[in-house]
């Protein structure tokens, strides 16, 4: 089959799952890359591509919103930091993988974990003490961070971390103030 035809099949949302599995083993990196981005990718093709020799293919799979948690668990331990970053940002990434990524050597990956609304409090607590100010700043901007963590970060040695924490605390206070009258009226 001609590569241009394979590329069209790999990116087409109507391509059969069986064909996508076959294309996931294609010799052409570009074809496998398109399969990795296809939101109709079947689990068997994900398993193949999670071990792909091309980091670009693995990164595309990690960015794909259809990629399932057990595959993202594999990608969260990838040797390539861009693959791990994409896994950290994917909404389907498991808490276990986020916990591991919160200790990644690349601070940008830790920033991605700290920025997520669904990062558990215990992980945010740990990241609030990170050696990198950008990671602490991401925690300070996270509206789901515990109040006590934000109060601690409001006194960070870096001004932008302090300002972010204070702003997040102010926004939480304002939100609570606007919700209170509604609660009082509903009683």
pLDDT in tens, 127-155: 999 999 999 999 999 999 999 999 999 99
- At the top level of CATH, the class of 55-186 is mainly alpha
pLDDT tens, residue by residue, 53-105: 999 999 999 999 999 999 999 999 999 999 999 999 999 999 999 999 999 99
Tell me whether residue 178 is exposed, middle or buried, using C-beta atoms within 10 angstroms of its C-beta: 0 to 12, 13 to 18, 19 or more.
exposed
pLDDT of amino acid 187: 46
Higher pLDDT, 3 or 150: 150
Give the Cα separation of 187 and 185 in Å (integer).
Answer: 6
pTM of the model: 0.89
């Amino acid at each position: 089959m001609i590569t241009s035809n394979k590329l069209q099949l790999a990116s087409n949302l109507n391509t059969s799952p069986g064909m996508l599995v076959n294309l996931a083993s294609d010799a052409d990196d570009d074809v496998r890359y398109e399969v990795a981005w296809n939101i109709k990718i079947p689990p068997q093709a994900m398993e193949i591509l999670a071990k792909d020799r091309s980091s670009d293919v693995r990164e595309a799979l990690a960015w794909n919103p259809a990629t399932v948690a057990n595959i993202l668990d594999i990608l969260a331990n990838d040797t390539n930091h861009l693959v791990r970053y994409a896994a950290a940002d994917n909404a389907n990434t498991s808490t276990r993988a986020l916990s591991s990524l919160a200790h990644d050597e690349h601070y940008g990956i830790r920033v991605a974990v700290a920025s997520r609304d669904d990062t558990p409090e215990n992980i945010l607590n740990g990241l609030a003490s990170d050696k990198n100010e950008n990671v602490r700043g991401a925690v300070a901007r996270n509206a789901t961070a515990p109040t006590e963590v934000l109060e601690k970060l409001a006194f960070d040695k870096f001004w932008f971390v302090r300002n972010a924490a204070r702003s997040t605390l102010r926004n939480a206070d304002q939100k609570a103030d606007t919700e209170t009258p509604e609660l009082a009226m509903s009683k």
